[in-house]
Amino acid sequence: MPAADHTPDTRLDPNALDLELSLLLSSTAPSGWRSAVEEAAHLLSEGYAGDRAAELHTLALLLFARTRSGDRTPRDVPVEELVQALDDPTAGENRVTEEIRQALAATGQYDTQRSPGDEPPLLRIFRPVSNRYGGPIPWSDEWDPVPPGPSPLDRAAKRLVSYLSTCQPGRRDALSRVPAVGDGPLYVEADRLFMASQTSLVPPSCVGGCPSHPRRLTVDGPDVTFVCEGCNTRRRSRQLDPAQVRLALARALGVAPSVHGSYSVPGVLHIALAEMPRGADPYMFNWFLARPKMESPGKIGRAKR
């Protein structure tokens, strides 16, 4: 059971459309990306559910690829054109994958020479949706690599063809149901930060060599960055997922997960590691926080330091 001073918010939807939009909208993305995301969300907003995130990502990337030259807006791209592009009867990788890849390269968003922690935001969005191996490439033995399977984009394309083919002609002219999501990063500061797995509570460490534990985070689209006050070192975190940070802040302060701007959390902020299911509440799964009659989170933090 959760600690006595923590009340889990069961109303939080970890797959809500506004949260998903905040994970796509980066302040460093090229011009035209935001309008592509918003138009994709508009087309999919009727009955949107969390299991349609891959469709949202795929459609936004395709709309961006088709309009990056600036000669038309995402709203100008006919639904019939989108269906025709996505409806690929051939086996293997859907043909729009290469079109998107070329569009990202042309806009400086496909720089694969950078380290994984320094990739452009659209590449960070494109990689997982186009991954045909479900993660790092597995090998059955030294000489027999496991063949690739359908990527989330491949599967989303088929669902999009079915969905968009039934769109009513007036759908795009209807009042948008897309929730408003503000511009700019989210800045989070807490007295103490802890990253939570099922069996551990670990403060982030500074990579600059100082003994300080970062207390500030910046969330910008798909990226989470630690900021160390001791030496002003900044580094992207591969242990934290932006959705988990946003949901932790929402539980702590009662704000919407899609907020932007600066927020300060008094006391300790516990954030589920990226490996945990999205929306997992550390007070419900972490061995230290979920134990009955446990000490306060602050005391746990001091004991773990």
Residue 170: the pLDDT is 77
- Domain extents for the chain? 26-173, 186-304
249-285 confidence digits (pLDDT tens): 999 999 999 999 999 999 999 999 999 999 999 999 9
Segment 234-250, tens digit of pLDDT: 778 888 999 999 999 99
pLDDT in tens, 46-91: 878 777 899 999 999 999 999 999 999 999 999 999 999 999 988 8
- As a whole-number percent, the residues of the chain with pLDDT over 90 amount to 64
Q: Would you say residue 296 has pLDDT above 80?
A: no
Q: What integer pLDDT is reported at residue 177 of this predicted model?
A: 85
Indicate the average pLDDT of the chain: 86
Q: Answer yes or no: is pLDDT of 195 > 90.
A: yes
In the numeric block, which tokens belong to residue 64? 């961006």
pLDDT in tens, 125-155: 999 999 988 655 444 455 556 677 899 999 9
CA distance 63 to 79: 10
Greatest mean pLDDT among 30-34, 142-146, 289-293: 30-34
Task: Indicate whether this model's pTM tops 0.85.
Answer: yes
